[in-house]
Structure 1
């Protein structure tokens, strides 16, 4: 497997990677030289090897969410206070976008953690866009999303259940203020529009 593959490409290499554990193991192995598997980031410890069943349970209890296809995760732990932040990225699409779910003690959302989280998602996983969905009336989660640099993009009606809408927040690699400018790739050129000018035989001279 090429070390230059993105998250989307890793998941597309083999159908057997569609399982949660299989996909994460493949991605974690690729990222081991970047962030772990258990490496220190400033004052926080980073973990890539958490058990999939434990990760799924944390999301169910603290976010009311399920782990989607192609999931991978990272956990930041403060060894002094024993607080932590778990971030799961899943459901990537062919355009380099995936959803991020964050379960965290509010004290963990420091500048250094946000910077490392964005580096992991954009530079490590090769994503171009991250989407976060919060409960529409959860003002605390909305404030955290803004602090992390996400822009409000709209409302997903009945996303969580009937009558329970989601606020949709997005961030692209080109709008991420936490990454060094030298690490951000050039934006792909826009697809040229079709030529709708009349044939030369119909043009008046």
Structure 2
């Protein structure tokens, strides 16, 4: 496939490449329902604040979810500058993790979500909320001085496996009543 060489470069195995994954890019413009994502029942910890034991649990979780051992790569990937990475816990066990980051593309940079893995919809929602929270400042947004970097004035992108229907529901929830959701390109691995 067109991504096979890149997958090998990042250490993904031949068995991964034989699975024929399909990924679609989704764009949410001006999401209006960000506050509805919050879930205070889920314990969320910022990646930079994880203890060594919590980091070990995260790496085990990732290996279980992806069927790959990518400890070194994942540690380096998630601690990159401008990444907002959060991990969800329940009784000291990792139940998900996710991150957001600004990507190139104009004066007001779009946001890209991913990776985002979670055991259930509520956890995914809480992780998405945590990773986007720094872009939600309604108290600093005035008619005479709008916050152009606010989440509700931005585009948020997701790259999602086609078979992940729960992620579509989560994007619909973030979109709200006045935002727009559109499906862009389709990638094959």
Report if TM-score (shorter chain) is over 0.5. no
Q: TM (normalized to structure 2)?
A: 0.42
Based on CA coordinates, which of the two structures has the bigger radius of gyration?
1
Asked which structure has the greater RCO (Cα within 8 Å, sep 6+), the reply is 2
